[in-house]
Amino acid sequence: MPIGKQAIKRRIRSVLATKKITQAMELISISKYQKQKALLERNKNYADTLLDMVADIASRSYVEDVFWLEEREDTHPCVILITSDLGLCGGYNSNTLKVFKQVPSVNQCIAIGYKGVRYTTSRGYNVISLSSEGLNMAVINEVMSGIYDQIKSNEITSIHVVYTEFINSVTFDPKSVKLYPFTVPEKESTSLIAETIFEPSGSDILNQLIPMTISSSIYRMYLSSKASEQAARRLAMENATDNAQEIIENLTLKFNQSRQAAITQEISEIVAGADAL
């Protein structure tokens, strides 16, 4: 049954209203994306400096007795899952949860973001829940302090982070990274190696520095996930706006065809009436 002109006009008005909403959300996402990207770039220097410092100290000292480097049987893993609080960001959350499902035998979970909290609590995980909005380094340090105490008492044997790595404004890669036991990053070899005397020992410094580095890495991954979230939402809203415009153009074409058919029918009726006289 053909759709009437009034029904088509109502549908056009409805899609136009939806298009205005998606356009507004796209603009908001662009603004938030630029802010999150700037935060990520500013944090990168600090995080990279910590990693370089750990690599430098480890390359110049005896590290066999560093607690955070000791390999152990992974029987009680802790997984940090970073998702968003809100939806309308394409496959951002679903892709991250797919990676989370591949992590075996999760003993404890720190869920950052409502989507991750809802997913893990509904499946019976032991969850520490955090909002993904306004999270800062102080909150992460407070939470991780308790996790480090559990590691020292053998209640937790590893730390994994499931997050989304930001690559560029249209590319984001969900992945799982193991932060503990800690792996010292490789340091570029140089022809000149200076002899260094540490006070306290290099091992003592690393035992204090590595937990700081793990917490810093978690914060960097959180910022990377937030930048990816806003970029994904911007892309989803841009696609929704383009789809709405395409629907409007198709409906406008149908409306014009319906109006032209009505005009043609009226002319035919007038002509037929005149011929009957």
Domain boundary assignment for the chain: 21-188+196-236
- Contact between residue 115 and residue 144 where contact means Cβ atoms under 8 Å apart: no
Q: Give the dihedral of Cα atoms 147, 148, 150, 151; nearest 10 deg.
A: 120
User: What is the predicted pLDDT for the residue at 202?
Assistant: 79
Q: Give the dihedral of Cα atoms 103, 233, 17, 11; nearest 10 deg.
A: -50
Q: 3-class DSSP state for residue 231?
A: helix
Kindly indicate whether the domain formed by 21-188+196-236 is annotated with CATH number 1.10.1040.10.
Answer: no
Q: Model pTM?
A: 0.87
* Span 169-204, pLDDT tens digits: 899 999 999 999 999 887 665 544 555 666 678 788
pLDDT over 90 (residue 235): yes
At a CB cut-off of 8 Å and minimum separation 6, what does 122 contact? none
User: What is the predicted pLDDT for the residue at 63?
Assistant: 73
What's the whole-number average pLDDT of the chain? 88
Average pLDDT (199-211) is: 86
The two structure tokens encoding residue 39: 């935060």
pLDDT band at residue 74 under the 50/70/90 scheme: confident
